[in-house]
Amino acid sequence: MPEKYRFGREREQHEMAQRMERAWAAEADARDAVRAFNARLEQGRAIWAWPTVAAAITAKHPWVTILCESCDGATDLDLRMKPRPPEASIRTVLREVKCPRCNGHGRPRITALRTAAGTGTP
């Protein structure tokens, strides 16, 4: 009778290990995508693919740094604070941002995805 339960636990442990491996692989893929995105932004190159909200959160880079082009005011926005569709591009958050200095008349631009608000490095 104990053998019956042992096989069930072994299967659960095996499935849990597989889930963990998939989660680690997803995090590594998301981190690579976010790093490539940040590198293109820093170099001033064209952005051909925007990371999704899910990729930014999975990569543990949930803070979006936004710069107002008219007054050079910087704002940090946490993607985890408001429910958003995970498959949506991070660019969708620009609709929600208004610069407090120029009363929303400037043009917001994403400058980086960061691990924490106001940090110097992405």
In a 13 Å sphere around the CA of 62, the CA atoms on its Cβ side amount to: 12
Contact 79, 93 (CB under 8 A): yes
The predicted structure's pLDDT at residue 1:
47
Say if 120 falls within a structural domain. no
Kindly report the pTM of this predicted structure: 0.75
Bridge partners for 78 per DSSP: 63
CA distance 79 to 91: 11
Say if 23 falls within a structural domain. yes
Say if 44 falls within a structural domain. yes
Domain residues for the domain of 45 are 2-114
Say if 38 falls within a structural domain. yes
Q: How many domains does the chain have?
A: 1
What is the full per-residue pLDDT of the chain (122 aa) written as tens digits? 455 555 677 888 888 999 999 999 999 999 999 999 999 999 999 888 899 999 999 999 999 999 888 888 888 889 999 899 999 999 988 888 888 788 777 888 888 898 887 665 55
Say if 122 falls within a structural domain. no
Say if 121 falls within a structural domain. no
The predicted structure's pLDDT at residue 3:
57
